[in-house]
Structure 1
Amino acid sequence: MTGLQAPRGTRDILPEEQMYWQTLETQACQILERAAYRQICTPIFEQTALFERGIGEATDIVGKEMYTFSDRGQRSLTLRPEGTAGVVRAYIEHGLHQQGGVQRLWYTGPMFRYERPQSGRYRQFHQLGVEVLGSGDARADVEVIALAFDILKGLGLADLTLMLNSVGDRSDRSDYRQALIDYLTPYRQDLDKDSQERLDRNPLRILDSKDARTQEIAQAAPKLLDFLSPDSQEHFQRVKTYLDQLGIAYTINPCLVRGLDYYTHTAFEFQSRSLGAEATVCGGGRYDHLVTELGGPETPAIGWAMGLERLILLLQQQSSSPTTNLDFYLVSRGETAEQQGLILAQHLRHRGFRVEMDLSGSAFGKQLKRADRSGAPGCLIIGESEAAAATVQLKWLAQGQQTVVSQGELLTLDLRSHLDQAREFATEQSTSDAP
């Protein structure tokens, strides 16, 4: 043993957990593709200036949480702490705005922030996000919210609450910022340490504090909604009206400001009571000035990101184990039988079936026990007698039915329908056995 371990705040995603990830990503991909969203991939590290300009130097992310380093050319680079800035940089660099129309993009991958590790929160974490660039219409706001709602509901997640707010435009926030500073300044010594530091450089983030005393003080603070211009009020009203028409319930939270400087107008979060204090599973908002700030043309935009580790926690709470995707477990013993098993497994895989081949060479009893534990509906058995006759025993594990067929005939059978029947039978058995 060398004593080497994964760095603090990182974790290995082991094979038995991967099926949760695959379920989540497949579900999200299907929903997003139906809405004409296209996938984009950006580098894991970018120039540090991208995040300083895009996220804001006064934010906790830039000031405290980024993994920044100098490469051999003495260029300052940063592991991406979030996905939006990189997508916007790619949008500008590759002239996607010149293609005309609205760009609907989605991404997934690891992000990095130096935070205190806790349940569902790591220093290397994964996000799935969407960005809609080129539309300032309130329907774009509601479209991305509805897609997040569909993904979360499609995963069977319960106890979800959509928190909604408007942070207005720059002029609205400028007026509100001063009013908030005027209100909070007499309470400076009563605020938590982080909020005292934010009072001068980023007072809106104080509204997001988790400190109980700071929250109590913030409850009586002026509300940003009271400082919205008529245009901002109209945009927010349209968002609420469209959500009502779609039947998506929401709660107005005037303290919801999100942690990034680039947000304008709509800000939102989906929260789950199942996660305790770290309740947010998806958050986002509109950012109509970010493209311009990063050197591109004036482009309204909106997006969101989901923390995948938190979603996986919720999925694991709902189900003790994910469903296996395996179709057949192949058991063989003896040199000729093992050779035929290898060939048969490959033929079945070429036909789209998921086949695991036992490579242990151990006794049939031990191999069959592993077949039972594999979760595969079907087991294929080749011993010396089957090898001599070029046959295979096909056993449906849940039903206990077993037949002998030639290896050539096996490849012509309607195995799909048999697999569906076997899985349906297994589901009925587990339901009837449940207390």
Structure 2
Amino acid sequence: MKAVGIVVEYNPFHNGHLYHLQETKKQTEADCLIAVMSGNFLQRGEPALVSKWTRTKMALFAGVDLVIELPYAFAVQSAETFASGAVALLAALYCDEICFGSESGKIEPFIEAAKTLLEKQNEYDIYIQQALQTGINYPQANTLAWNQLHLDKLDVTKPNNILGFSYVKAILEQHHPIVPRTIPRIAACYHDETFSHPSIASATSLRKALSGSIERLETISSYIPSYTKQLLEQYYFTYGTFHDWERYFPFLKYRILTMEESELQRIANVDEGLEHRFKQAIIEAETFSQLMTSMKTKRYTWTRLQRTCTHILTNFTKEQMAKMKKPTYIRLLGMSSNGRRYLQTIKKQLSLPLVTNVSRLEPHPIYQQEKKAVFAYTAIFPEAIRSKAIKEEYATPPITLF
């Protein structure tokens, strides 16, 4: 069976995702489609709108055969670390190809850029450090270094191009025989906050239109499959909320106010005196948005600050992050009957343990951080619902769709 991998967040699953999924199957002639999906916190440092279990159901209803969790230690990270973890998991599952959406739409510039950068890594690092010393932020420094290496055939100011490049680079670095493919994004850009197409919209614009309210679900119904709508309704009526940063702000504020600066300094991404800025800004901030606006500078991007806030919320330290270089297990969240057949053909060859019962994961440091992420994610629920949601983490078997 030919296995093809995709890396997803589905926050929430919409018609653009469905297009990518269908085109991936069509262009690769995949027998088994495997999705590595971020857990309850996402790459840009945001809580997912709904839990990983609900988003797993969305993926399975759409036609994904296997859904694998990308652990927190890799999910809430820079594009490079995010891609490295995802590629390692897809390689461990013997994927023949990886297919990602991009603004470029052509794979050749990604391969050429990745090969060049690996050959000139030292030069690139020097350019980055020189640029950062001028006071600009990392994305701007990266663009300058990119241009100095004459890699301007690929526009790395575009978010999906950045991730796509990182996937290709990870494949080359890890020496996997995986063929990368890309499909152009259609109609809506990643950060679009408004609707400009009758049926395709970005996840950002959908979340903004929804604004955490079930009453507004109808306003986005033409941009999402019917099963996404139903699953969003079920989640809201079960848990009483969708997730966004404002709901976590009281917990974040409590954490920052009660932590010593020396404790804050140990948190991942808290560098260059950022702990002082947090302690000063948190006192007057009444909302998450106010905190971010007061913290954001040319040096500190919104995304970097969001990831840092997530690490504070989940108590993810620099020491922990330094030890978590690569995935140590494969956690199965969901499968179709076709996915089960594929697992049966490869299970004896797997180099990482395939986990369906998390009690087996207790010795893994990566999973210990995953547990903290679950505790943080469920903190906004009333007590009875929170206890139920925490139990789901331990008691829920892989979701099956046969």
TM over 0.5: no
Structure 2-normalised TM-score? Answer: 0.23
- Determine which structure has more spread, i.e. the larger CA radius of gyration: 1
Structure 1-normalised TM-score? Answer: 0.22
